Structure 1
Amino acid sequence: MSDPVLREKGRAVRRQLVGDICADKLDREVYTDPHMEKFGEITQEVLFAQLWTRPGLDLKTKSMVTLITDVSTGSFEAMSLHVRFCRIHGWTEDEVVEAMLHCIGYLGVPLVRKSILVARDVFREMHQNGELADGQ
């Protein structure tokens, strides 16, 4: 059973994490599908409204933790969103790449190589879309 209050809170947090351009695109291209709408309901109510709003870590730190879990599990599709989270919440491109490079010794070259390629594409897209203020 969906909780409309949690759903709205989660949608607001998701928008804060991915930015307006990406949130609008997700709403328009992904969450209009009835199956993905069910997925959105759960992730927005549980993940974004409850997990991401817990005290103890700021959004910047949570963004990097999430990105590193993607690197470690090879979750390259999700990584595209999570690189965006990191950039929007203050991590520089160099810091994102350095965090990935640090994983080479623990996870291996193939996962890190692919991760950096994903990050490169996200950086390019964000610059092309004007999603980052000058100097970010």
Structure 2
Amino acid sequence: MSEKPTNGRKAFGHIAPALADYTDNVLFGDVWERPGLSPRDRSLITVASLISLYRLNELPFHMKKALENGVSKDELIEVITHLAFYSGWPTAASALPIAQRAFEEAGQ
């Protein structure tokens, strides 16, 4: 396993080094780097999935990543609004404060 301070290693490498390695090398190394979708498209899909599945722990990281990958603030709000009708009002309402924090942290 690599000793460089990657996102997975920083987040939980101290307790689950193998999971951190899989996160860094397989998920963000192999899966996210596949040529079939752009990082922007992968971010839109991931954010929509996390909102729909009510995965609030992972959502802040992926909202920030989506902004870094070129998804706009307006697009993320539109995703949340659209999902209110498909994944439920509570999932969309719960995503809004997370989005607002991500926007503030990104200076948007």
TM-score by length of 1: 0.69
Identify which of 115, 120, 127 aligns with 2:100: 120
1:45 corresponds to which of 14, 20, 25: 25
Matched, 1:95 2:66: no
Residue identity over aligned pairs, in percent, reads 24
Structure 1 vs Structure 2 CA RMSD: 2.1
- Structure 1 residue 56 and structure 2 residue 36: aligned? yes
The change in CA–CA distance for 1:110 and 1:94 in structure 2 (over 3 A counts) is same
1:110 aligns with one of 80, 90, 97: 90
* 1:83 matched residue in structure 2: 63
Does the 8 Å contact 2:80/2:96 carry over to 1? Answer: yes
Number of equivalent positions: 106
Q: Which of 39, 49, 53 does residue 73 from structure 1 map onto?
A: 53
Deviation of 1:38 after TM superposition, in Å, equals 2.6
Distance 1:108 1:31, change over 3 A: closer
Q: Out of 13, 28, 36, which is 2:16 matched to?
A: 36
Q: 2:100 is aligned with what amino acid?
A: R
Higher RCO (CA < 8 A, seq sep 6+): 1
CA separation in 2, counterparts of 1:40 and 1:90? 26
- Cα offset for 1:36? 3.5
What is the rounded CA distance, in whole Å, between the counterparts of 1:69 and 1:76 in structure 2?
A: 11
Where structure 2 has 5 or more consecutive residues not aligned to the other structure, the ranges are none
In 2, Cα distance between the equivalents of 1:56 and 1:81?
23
2:93, 2:75 → 1: CA distance? 15
